[in-house]
Amino acid sequence: MAYSELIKNFSHVRAYLRSFYVYGFQHRSEYTQKSSRMYDNERRRVESWLGKYLTFIQDKEGRRVFISLDSRDIPQNPLFSAFRAKSFTPTDISLHFHVLDILQTENSLSITDLMNSLTARLLDFNGEILPDESTVRRKLKEYVALGLLCTGKKGRETVYSLPDSYSDLEKWNCAAAFFSEVLPMGVIGSYIQDRMAERCQFFRFRQHYILSTLDSEILYSAAQAINEKRLITYSHNNQNLKVLPQKIYIGTQTGRQYLLVWSPKRRKFSFQRTDQISNLKIDEAFDVPQDLEEKLKIYQSHAWGVTSCNNQSCTEHIEMILSIRAGEDYLLNKLINEKRCGTVEQIDETRWLFRADVYNTLEMVPWLRSFTGSILELKGSNSVVIKRFWKDLSDLANLYCSGDTGKSGEADV
């Protein structure tokens, strides 16, 4: 098939965009999941969509392609461009403009009248596109479902018309510009911005993870299933799972998005990373047990992050004492603002105690390490995690302070 810069299925390009954006160290020969020709086509498409954001570096092993940008510098996510590359047929685009134009002039028409108007116009072009009535009917049905057309009755006949136009869209310009970057499925906000006479460009976003937009279709289906209390099925690590989605979890420090789901089969909650989900389908409505909401609240109250655990009736305890001296208010603020399900108490003038009971203390380690320089004590019921924390610190000291002398000791576990 001839190359086209448009694509039919968005899921094919997700992995390439991720790889170009997050990793950026791979050469052409390292993309082994699909053929080299497919890599060439996808790379060419991404270059066509993203232009200046795609960078190339030639080294002795070949050419590396990557997307390099500081998202803080730009008012709009460039990856939204990928959503504007859906392929279509000549009939699709021809009907789109002619049908909407005919109904702008005629108010409401039956399928017969519409066909007559269309035929008169298209014959003007030697009739290369002259769709039959069933094709037009299908398109009209699709446009009614999208909200682009309305149906009504004139006598016994179904008539088609345009919906009432909305004249105050400009009032949403700045709100759409802001929320399209910070809310799930923000690409829809960018579609709305496409309709504005001039885009609002007054916002910037600090530590802004733009890649999550690639999972918008997954979140769209998940949100629908949550709203309608429906089960979903999807593939994850070559397994097919059937679960009830409950919440969308978003990491503001990783850009990752997760579904918190309830498995009716295993009777457990778990998290699924949305970028590892494929083939998601919405299934039947689920008769939600009465106590599920209460169980969810309890589960959430001990979830530090998004690590699933098998034993959800058992938590791990952790305690950390920090030294916070005068002039280190920023450290205290950090502790208080980032404590999540933990608690903070002042022991004396300079010592503060953090305590938490969570399902998995291992996932707290990066956060605990962010207090390096101020940790007086660290204790916990999971001794493996505590040992690892101190071992990592010891390894760090070996990496950076190998010239230092005099400090040694035993792990306080």
Partner 1 sequence: MLFHEIYGRYYQVTANILKEAVRGNLTRGKLNAMIHSQAFSESILTMPENLVGSRWSLIREDLSTPLKNEPHMPLTILEKRWIKALMLDPRIRLFEPDMEAFSDVEPLFSPDMIVYYDRSAKGDDYSDPLYVSCFKTALAALREHRKLKIRWKSSSSTAAALTSHEAEAIPMYLEYAEKDDIFRITLQDEMNQLTVRISQITECEMTSVAVPPDALKLKKETRESVTFELTDFRNAKERVLSHFSHLEKETKRLDDLRYQITLKYNSSDESEMVTRILSFGPVIKVTSPESFTELIRKRIRAQLSMKNCSCDVTHAQK
Within 266-295, the residues that bind partner 1 by CB under 8 A are none
Q: Taking Cα atoms as reference points, which of 310, 347, 318 lies closest to residue 332?
A: 347
Structure tokens at 391: 């071992």
Residue selected from 33, 58, 134, 227 as contacting partner 1 according to rule CB under 8 A: 227
Nearer to partner 1 by Cβ, of 156 and 171: the residue is: 171
Interface positions, 324-353, toward partner 1 (CB under 8 A)? 327, 329-330, 333, 336-340
At position 306, the amino acid (one-letter code) is: V
Interface positions, 350-369, toward partner 1 (CB under 8 A)? 365-367, 369
> Is there binding between residue 187 and partner 1 (CB under 8 A)?
yes
- Least separation in angstroms between residue 236's CB and partner 1 is 16
Residues paired with 152 in a beta bridge: 159
Taking contact as CB under 8 A, which single stretch among the options 33-41, 152-160, 282-290, 298-306 is the one that binds partner 1? 298-306
Q: How far is CA 180 from the centre of its chain?
A: 12
- Least separation in angstroms between residue 30's CB and partner 1 is 9
| Cα–Cα distance, 65 to 22 (Å, whole number) | 11
Q: Which residue has the tokens 């179904």?
A: 158
Dihedrals phi, psi of 263, to nearest 5 degrees: -95, 110
Interface positions, 195-224, toward partner 1 (CB under 8 A)? 195, 201-211, 216-217, 220, 223
> Is there binding between residue 299 and partner 1 (CB under 8 A)?
no
Interface positions, 385-404, toward partner 1 (CB under 8 A)? 390, 392-404
Residue selected from 33, 58, 124, 287 as contacting partner 1 according to rule CB under 8 A: 124
CA distances to 315, 341, 349, 359 from 320, in Å:
17, 14, 16, 17
CA distances to 138, 145, 150, 275, 315 from 164, in Å:
22, 16, 9, 38, 56
Nearest 5°: the CA angle 117, 119, 125 is 120
Binding-residue pattern over the window 74 to 113 for partner 1, x denoting contact by CB under 8 A: -x-----x-xxxxxx-x-xxx-xxx-xx--xx--------
| Cα–Cα distance, 201 to 174 (Å, whole number) | 8
Binding-residue pattern over the window 18 to 47 for partner 1, x denoting contact by CB under 8 A: ---xxxxxx-----------------x--x
Structure tokens at 125: 């072009």
- Least separation in angstroms between residue 156's CB and partner 1 is 26
Taking contact as CB under 8 A, which single stretch among the options 132-140, 262-270, 284-292, 375-383 is the one that binds partner 1? 375-383
